[in-house]
Amino acid sequence: MEESAPAEDLLKVPVSKLRIGMFVQAIENNGRVNIANAGQIRTKDALAKLIKSGIKFVWVDVERSSEGSGLKKKAAAPLKPKKNRDVQQQKAQALLGEAKDLIRKVLSETFEGKAVEVAPVEAFADNMIETVLQDADAFKCVSALRTKDAYLLEHSVNVAFLLVTFGKHIGLDKSMLAQLAAGGIMHDVGKVKVDDKILNKPGRLTQEEFEHMKMHQTFAKEIMREAEGFSQISQDVCLMHHEKLDGTGYPNGLKGDELPMHARMSCIADIYDALTATRCYKEAMSPAAAFKILLSLTPHHLDQKLVYEFVRCVGVYPAGSLVELSDGRVGIVWESKDRDALHPVVKCFYSLKHKRYTDVAMIDMKKSELNIERGVSPSSLDVDPTPFY
């Protein structure tokens, strides 16, 4: 699992060359990078303290350093939505549409009792990996918009996407990512044979209904066997995502070492997406609230180390989520790639303070005096953020 490294646009500076006004993003001590004490150097004292501490190098954020610090700054251009981003957004939209079509086809064929074709699922998995490896912000924003009646389709795409993103984060290779994606697409295919009334029932299921719901894993087993060609990893993702480490899960009550890492990952991605989705009977949870629940399910149900890694991978303010800034404006986290978790670009459109829409503005948190105050769940807003995605 990777150590988090400073972003690429930071400058590594020997402590002896530090000046007042420079913004220290991280310090490097004995080869380890520490970002705990980020901040601007404002006084001679602070400078002297750093020199005395024996630290040899620091990472300076040029953009956030003041003019007088002697660092040459790029001409500040007003931040506009990138044209490039429009193209990516369209591509992401197309990919999502393609994914839904594919899953719709898989589900309807399964419903008709036909065997699932593996090749289109694999081809789609490859496309998804390309998106995640290039720049996933656009896809995250597009897929953050959930339609209440397409839960199964969107949940399947999102679990696949989360597994690829998570797999990349912990350094898995491309072939493994493809198998995870295919497993994610297929993971709930058995639900097509579950009674619709139970599948979409608001609120808690009775014991009897839950037993019926659990059957989706028994159906999945038959469907996967008939499909032929799905790798063991893809099959495990599909057939083990409701197992729990203490053996209380289903369908087989597998325990501890019987659950390989990819199966443990699928349990985490499945629960996280279910919690953060809007359903016809429940509102979406913010990522932070969902993380809390995931952590409460460790270590008995979920793998604790992997949950921590997942939290680090998704981040408290993932692209597509809503945040409130310190001036009371609300916006969508728009760009988070190659940035630390607290400094994304935020697309603001509403003021909670004044209870009205504002001009749409892209705020780069790296360059702004403002801070992110908190994550906001869509349901807590009295306005609909959809048009701004």
Footprint of Fe ion on this chain (CB under 5 A)?
Answer: 188
The rounded Cα 244 to chain-centroid distance in angstroms is 22
CB of 270 to Fe ion, least distance (A): 6
Closest CA to 224 of 118, 151, 300: 118
Give the span between the Cα atoms of 56 and 109, in whole angstroms.
63
User: Do the beta carbons of residue 121 and residue 185 sit within 8 Å?
Assistant: yes
Long-range contact pairs involving 277-280 (C-beta distance under 8 Å, separation at least 24): 277/146, 277/151, 277/154, 277/155, 277/158, 278/146, 278/148, 278/378, 278/379, 279/148, 279/151, 279/202, 280/148, 280/149, 280/200, 280/202
Give the span between the Cα atoms of 247 and 337, in whole angstroms.
38
| CB nearer Fe ion, residue 132 or residue 194 | 194
| CB nearer Fe ion, residue 10 or residue 199 | 199
User: Do the beta carbons of residue 321 and residue 335 sit within 8 Å?
Assistant: no
| CB nearer Fe ion, residue 188 or residue 324 | 188
CB of 305 to Fe ion, least distance (A): 23
| CB nearer Fe ion, residue 92 or residue 181 | 181
Give the span between the Cα atoms of 241 and 271, in whole angstroms.
9
| CB nearer Fe ion, residue 155 or residue 347 | 155
CA–CA distances in Å: residue 99 to residues 89, 158, 190, 320? 15, 10, 18, 19
CB of 191 to Fe ion, least distance (A): 7
Report the largest interatomic distance among the alpha carbons of the chain, rounded to a whole angstrom: 75
* Amino acid residing at 146: R
| CB nearer Fe ion, residue 146 or residue 168 | 146
By CB atoms closer than 10 A (0-12, 13-18, 19+), residue 285 is buried
User: Do the beta carbons of residue 61 and residue 367 sit within 8 Å?
Assistant: no
Element (H, E) at 251: none
| 220 Cβ contact partners less than 8 Å away, ≥ 6 residues apart | 186, 187, 188, 189, 190, 238, 239
CB of 165 to Fe ion, least distance (A): 19
CB of 174 to Fe ion, least distance (A): 26
CB of 188 to Fe ion, least distance (A): 4
| CB nearer Fe ion, residue 211 or residue 338 | 211
CB of 190 to Fe ion, least distance (A): 7
CB of 122 to Fe ion, least distance (A): 21
Give the span between the Cα atoms of 254 and 237, in whole angstroms.
13
CB of 245 to Fe ion, least distance (A): 17
Q: How many residues does the chain have?
A: 389
CB of 159 to Fe ion, least distance (A): 9
CA triple 211-283-98, angle to 5 deg:
80
